[in-house]
Copies of this chain bind each other. A is one copy, B any other.
Amino acid sequence: MVGGGKDAFIGAIHRHAAFMDGMIELVCGALSINPEVAKDSGKSLFLPEDRIYLTFDEMITKEAALPADKRMDFVTIVTPNFAHFAPAMMAMDHGFHVVIEKPIAFTLDEAKQLKNKVEETGLILCLTHTYSGYPLVKHAKQMIKAGALGKIRKVWVEYPQGWLSKLSEREGNAQAAWRTDPKRSGKSGCMGDIGTHCAHLAEYITGLKISKICADLNVMVEGRMLDDDGNVLLKFDNGAAGVLMASQVAAGEENAIKIRVYGEKGGIEWAQQEPNTMYVKWLDQPTQILRAGGNYGDRLSSFAMQVTRTPGGHPEGYLEAFANIYRNFSHTLAARIVGAEPTAEMLDFPTVDDGIRGMAFIDNVVLSSQSETKWTNHIV
Interface residues of A (CB under 8 A from B): 9, 12-13, 15-16, 19-22, 26, 45-46, 149, 153-154, 156, 158, 160-163, 165-166, 214, 216, 218, 220, 229, 231, 233, 235, 241-243, 245, 247, 249-256, 260, 262-267, 272-276, 279-291, 293-297, 299, 309-320, 371-375
Contacts and interface: CB of A to CB of B under 8 A. Distances in A.
Contacts of A290: 286
Given A15-B22, A284-B297, A374-B372, A318 B310 contact: yes
21 contacts: A20-B319, A154-B250, A160-B260, A161-B313, A162-B283, A165-B283, A220-B241, A229-B241, A251-B263, A251-B265, A252-B280, A252-B287, A253-B313, A276-B317, A286-B291, A287-B288, A288-B289, A310-B318, A315-B317, A316-B318, A317-B317
Nearest to A26: B22
B275 A315 contact: yes
A62 to B, nearest CB: 22
A314 B299 CA distance: 27
B245 A243 contact: yes
A149 B235 CA distance: 34
Nearest to A274: B274
Nearest to A314: B318
A46 B22 contact: yes
Contacts of A233: 214, 216, 231, 233
A229 B240 CA distance: 11
